[in-house]
Amino acid sequence: MAGEAEQQLRAYVDYLRDLGVYDLYRRGAPGLEADLGLTSEAAEPPPEMSAAPRVAVSSVEISQPVATPVTRSVSARPQAIDVAPPIKKDFSESEIPKPISFDNLTPLPEVRFAAAHKPAALNAIREDIGDCTRCPLAYAGRRKIVFADGDPSARLMFVGEGPGADEDAQGLPFVGKAGQLLNNMIGAMGLKREQVYIANIVKCRPPANRVPEPVEANTCSQFLLRQIDVVQPQVIVALGSTAATYLLGVKQSLAGLRGKWHSCRGAKVAVTYHPAFLLRDPRQKGEAWKDLQMVMKELGLKAAAKG
Ligand code: SF4
């Protein structure tokens, strides 16, 4: 009985989080996330996004002149320490770091990477990350750093919040049940997973799948920003409120962000529900499909035929 109540509470907390209620953990009940042992992902994919015969659409080369890769400075990696630094939980309103949009973190690149140079440029970012200890998530039980997956020249990029248990184990983003649903969403758009680029705001799993703390997201963002500047997608889909918050530098409910275009690093940004949220609340699948149709129209994609 206690287990059932805990499960219901946990589902409700996740639901609120996906709707953009951010500060529940911080202000509501100290240690709540640990007590709840938060997990995600537990349902079947929605019928309208289920695996269907996919129409292959070749990715289009965006690039033009061969560009000199843009070099960005990355702060020196601090010495590894044995004990995780404590994360301050009780911030006053003025102490909570405000999200800064990716566009305001650094100037937009002046050159575009040629497609042939993108894999090496992304590898260089991965090498910069190394066995990263730049934020507290390095000491929070992560197994693998989850860099990204997909086509370095993709026209379409998906950005989620952070790795879950399956992703942490495999070192790849979106490979659990939510990942299966994302694959189905991509398939319904007439694409294959290999034709898009998938990454997260943070590259290490937050303990108990909690929302990344601002200091973690702000620290890790430098790498995602560089990845976006290399891939230079035409469209980015922010999956869930955490991705939207950090990409766009705004703190709004998904309802206020969905259904219109935003901008990030020269790409158009659409905001939709995180697949893990859709697994918890399948009633929103139709709404998510509307968001994806907006993206398809922009990219000239046709929905996969139903099989
Ligand atoms: S989340 Fe990002 S910044 Fe933090 S330790 Fe992992 S790779 Fe480094």
Question: Each residue of 148-192: pLDDT tens digit?
Answer: 999 999 999 999 999 999 999 999 999 999 999 999 999 999 999
- Average per-residue pLDDT in the chain? 80
CB-based contacts of 153, cutoff 8 Å, min separation 6: 59, 61, 62, 63, 115, 118, 231
CATH topology of domain 95-299: Uracil-DNA Glycosylase, subunit E (3.40.470)
**Ligand 1 neighbourhood includes 236 CB (under 6 angstroms):** no
User: Does residue 231 contact residue 157 with C-beta atoms inside 8 Å?
Assistant: yes
Model-wide pTM > 0.85? no
Question: Each residue of 98-147: pLDDT tens digit?
Answer: 778 898 888 888 888 899 999 999 999 999 999 999 999 999 999 999 99
Question: Each residue of 225-234: pLDDT tens digit?
Answer: 999 999 999 9
**Ligand 1 neighbourhood includes 148 CB (under 6 angstroms):** no
Which residue's alpha carbon is nearest to atom 2 within ligand 1? Answer: 220
CB-based contacts of 248, cutoff 8 Å, min separation 6: 99, 101, 102, 238, 257, 262, 264, 269, 271
Pick from 281, 272, 239, 280: nearest CA to 39: 280
List the domain boundaries for the chain: 2-76, 95-299
Ligand 1 pocket: which of 79, 204, 210, 215 to mutate (most atoms <8 Å of CB)?
Answer: 204
Distance CA 183, CA 186 (A): 5
Q: Which helix (H) or strand (E) holds 264?
A: strand 262-264
What are the angstrom distances between the C-alpha of 105 and each of 121, 124, 222, 225? 20, 20, 8, 9
Ligand 1 centroid–CA 214 distance in Å is 12
Which range scores top for mean pLDDT: 41-55, 90-104, 193-207?
A: 193-207
CA 99, distance to chain mean position in Å, is 15
Pick from 142, 184, 188: nearest CA to 163: 142
Which residue did the predictor score with more confidence, 10 or 252? 252
Question: Each residue of 54-91: pLDDT tens digit?
Answer: 333 333 333 333 344 433 333 333 344 444 445 555 55
**Max CA separation in the chain (angstroms):** 64
Ligand 1 centroid–CA 222 distance in Å is 10
Atom of ligand 1 nearest to the CA of 133: 5
Q: What is the DSSP letter of 95?
A: G
Ligand 1 centroid–CA 264 distance in Å is 21
**Ligand 1 neighbourhood includes 135 CB (under 6 angstroms):** yes
